[in-house]
Amino acid sequence: MDAINPATDETFAHFDDMTDAQAKTAIAASHAAHLEWRKTDFAHRANLLRKAAKLLRERKREYGELMSKEMGKPIKDAIAEVEKCALGCDYYADNGAKFLSNQIVEDGKTKSLIAFRPIGVVLAVMPWNFPFWQVVRFAAPALMAGNGGVLKHSANVPGSAMAIEHVFEDAGFPKHLFRTLLISSRQVDAVIENPHIRAVTLTGSGPAGRAVASKAGSVLKKTVLELGGADAYLILQNSDIAFAASTCAKGRLVNSGQSCVAAKRFIVLKELAEAFEKEFVIEMNKAVVGDPLSMETTVGPMARKDLRDELHKQVTDSIAMGARLLTGGKIPPGPGAFYPPTILTDLKPGMPAYDEELFGPVASVIVANDKDEAVRIANDSPFGLGGGVFTPDLALGEKIAVEEIEAGLVFVNGAVASDPKLPFGGVKESGYGRELSEFGIREFVNIKTVVVAAHGTGAVTHHHIE
């Protein structure tokens, strides 16, 4: 595996791939470590998670620069990502025991309880766009729950993958409990089939999710999938246009536009469209595109040139079908996988910028005649990850967010973002299951029912009907 700087096209590191036999050995070692780890108490696990958080904070500049070099993340954002990983570790250290403590169910003379027990080694198949956070938000709750973990990371961030393994080992977690598998996608099926793997979590594309879920289903292993998104933000009557445009631009350009939960479609009422488009162009053009290692940069290169070229084709195909370009839309000269902040409007069904996820700094503006049509357009997508509503009427915004938008996360008057305290995940083709919060840590545990009755009393009277 080669690490290639997408800002310069330079190959700056090489990692040897694992063979199938080496991957199998690593999984066996993780399983063996888990068998002892599951016997530890929550206080011990929490102590090590806090040590991992401390190491992440101490190494945030080093790891931030690594992300910037491997996938082009602006260094300021990369450092913030490492800090968020530390926050996630601390969150589960502080709350894991509460989330997984036994729950007593009052049941007459018997003692009935619900226990949350570890299930074993969990495989994580992770993407390049948040190379630390995507992994830690799985690993922190999984390890706190008493599980082991193996990571198949994206091939263009091998250094980040190994760094995360080192963080947990350096923090004092048992050697091999969390392992990075430097393997190709074609080797994933064999890993899923391995009897020591008990479940799989994947963040990535729809095709990748379907492939992993199909294989896991064939061997009866649970999956959690966080897939693509085409998040719709509604700009409704009486909205503060300057505030909405500024927030929407930040939401669209987060991680240089390469986020499943980034703002992507902007559905604006007809009477507001002209004013919103004008302000939106101004805000998008405020972005500083350049060297990701510069603290002034807000938009770095895309992670790979093939991804940049695919995005550009979606833009040019949409324009050829009648979309109007408001800004951007041209590949800049020189090295690197750079693409400018871009806005398309006059979009209709059938255009790539209307129908498809645009995974880069390109915004789709869609005009609606009224609120009901705006909601219909928002839901007229195979995806359902995040969404937003801009309105001064907070009661209306909450009603739309709760009852009408088909998504796993909806923010009113703000840009969608993940938070360790809140569940994260989608519906429809954006996947299933949840990460983060108490719901995330309970995805990969055995929720076990235990009923205890005095011997010989005949106290258990549950009907024997399955």
Residues labelled catalytic = 226, 260
The H-or-E segment that residue 20 falls in is: helix 20-37
CA distance 449 to 447: 7
Q: Among candidates 265, 231, 262, which has minimal Cα distance to 347?
A: 265
Q: Where are the beta strands (DSSP E) in 300-385?
A: 324-327, 342-345, 362-368, 383-384
Residue/partner pairs of 13-17 with CB below 8 Å, 24 or more apart: 13/158, 13/159, 15/158, 15/159, 15/162, 15/182, 16/182, 17/182, 17/183, 17/184
Kindly tell me the sign of the dihedral angle through the C-alpha atoms of 98, 448, 425, 414.
negative
**Is the Cβ–Cβ distance between 164 and 41 less than 8 Å?**
no
Q: Which residue has the tokens 């250094």?
A: 159
The H-or-E segment that residue 198 falls in is: strand 197-203
CA distance 176 to 143: 12
**Is the Cβ–Cβ distance between 180 and 30 less than 8 Å?**
no
